[in-house]
Amino acid sequence: MTFDRSIKIAPSILSADFADFGREIRAIEDQGADWVHVDVMDGHFVPNLTFGPPAVKAFRPHVKTFMDVHLMIAPVDPYIDAYAEAGADMITAHVEASPHIHRTLQAIRATGKKAGVALNPGTPASAVETLLDLADMVLVMTVNPGFGGQKFIHNQVEKIKTIRNMIGDREIHIQIDGGVDPTTAPLVAAAGADVLVAGSAVFKGGSVDAPQIYGDNMLAIRAAAQSVA
Ligand code: DX5
Ligand code: ZN
């Protein structure tokens, strides 16, 4: 089976109604989401606090597609098993969060889950060069992590191209996270990204009572990306 490098939309539930996650997750999936992106923040690695393993466990029964857990926490290793048991399909750790990121990725793979490695905007592409044998995905942050609704950092597009060349034919996804919308989606898709995380651009203007707006927003992002991919 060939590796699926087609454009995939992963809404970030950081922009969803926190009082209604179950229905929000089902709504975005019904409206065409390919993955569900879950931002885990610890108030230490990033200046915001979100979801512990119990919350992620509560989301799991509502996710029918693929639960993509983005760990913005330091340390990472003590929590890997808990997020794996909570039902994550992909667990992504930041290279900046773990002095032993090679061992961290090994530990994620040892749980049987997919392993992702993330780069903050200030971290060069070379930081993942020796990690590609252990990674199922490289996440290039296009905002400084911690909040939704921030402006896309354009000078990260070159980094995406560099990583796409580094990966070659290997079965590794390139995920982009932060400020993705119909205007920035073509830039990252043309550079080689296949998984597009979007929070504010998917949830804006919609609700569980008006989910078709989520669908329209995702369609606009997908169409813009596919026009160049
Ligand atoms: C930020 C998170 C992102 C964020 C994206 O630290 O990792 O996933 O929710 O939100 P938007 O798409 O609004 O920039
Ligand atoms: Zn994220």
Q: Helix count (H) and strand count (E) of the chain?
A: 8, 8
- Would you say the CB of residue 180 lies under 6 angstroms from ligand 1? yes
For the chain, list the strands marked E by DSSP.
8-11, 36-41, 67-72, 90-94, 114-119, 137-141, 173-177, 195-198
Q: How far is the CA of 18 from the centre of ligand 2 (A)?
A: 16
CA dihedral defined by 28, 29, 33, 36, rounded to 10 degrees? 90
Q: Tokens in use for 16?
A: 């969803």
Ligand 1 atom index nearest CA of 178: 14
Q: How far is the CA of 143 from the centre of ligand 1 (A)?
A: 8
> Do the Cβ atoms of 105 and 135 come closer than 8 Å?
yes
Whole-Å CA distances, 178 to 125, 207, 220: 17, 21, 17
Ligand 1 atom index nearest CA of 202: 12
Q: What is the pLDDT of residue 229?
A: 74
Catalytic residues: 39, 177
Q: What is the pLDDT of residue 54?
A: 98
Q: Rounded distance, CA 229 to CA 225, Å?
A: 6
- Would you say the CB of residue 12 lies under 6 angstroms from ligand 1? yes
From 18, 41, 70, 143, mutation site for ligand 1 pocket: most ligand atoms within 8 A of C-beta = 143
> Do the Cβ atoms of 195 and 155 come closer than 8 Å?
no
| Polymer length in residues for the chain | 229
Q: What is the pTM of this model?
A: 0.98
Q: Rounded distance, CA 69 to CA 113, Å?
A: 11
Nearest ligand to the C-alpha atom of residue 14: 1
Q: Rounded distance, CA 94 to CA 140, Å?
A: 10
Ligand 1 atom index nearest CA of 146: 6
Q: What is the pLDDT of residue 2?
A: 82
In the chain (229 residues long), the average pLDDT of successive 10-residue segments reads 92 98 98 98 98 98 98 98 98 97 98 98 98 98 98 98 97 98 98 98 98 98 95
